[in-house]
Amino acid sequence: MSNICDVFGKCGGCTYLNIDYKEQLSQKTDEILKVLKDSNIEIKNYEGVLSSPAIYHYRNKMEYSFGNEVKGDL
């Protein structure tokens, strides 16, 4: 996989790059359904994760951290 992304495993932007794309979709589906179940959210017609025709070089990733501790002068 190093020829696809030179920083795979370092930056965190492509967590699933080492997994077959169909398996990525399956794992993401499982994760979504677990979160919904754990949150007691009933889904009647879950249509699954949509695949992309471009499986490389398209992803956006956003992570937010929240806490009650103040750092610096903030």
Q: Does residue 55 form part of some domain?
A: no
Q: Does residue 35 form part of some domain?
A: yes
Q: What is the pLDDT of residues 15-51, one digit of tens each?
A: 788 889 999 999 989 999 999 999 999 988 888 888 8
Written as six digits, the tokens of 9 are 């495993």
Q: Does residue 43 form part of some domain?
A: yes
Q: 4 — alpha (psi -120 to 50), left (phi > 0) or beta? A: alpha
**pLDDT bucket at 2, cuts 50 / 70 / 90:** very low
**Secondary structure class of 31 (helix, strand, coil):** helix
**What pTM value is reported for the model?**
0.64
**Whole domain around residue 18: which residue ranges?**
1-48
Measured distance between the N- and C-terminal CA atoms of the chain, rounded to whole angstroms: 40
With a cut of 70, say whether residue 62 has pLDDT above it. no
Q: What does each C-alpha distance from 49 to 11, 27, 60, 70, 73 come to in angstroms?
A: 24, 10, 16, 37, 42
Q: How many domains does the chain have?
A: 1
With a cut of 90, say whether residue 72 has pLDDT above it. no
Q: Does residue 72 form part of some domain?
A: no
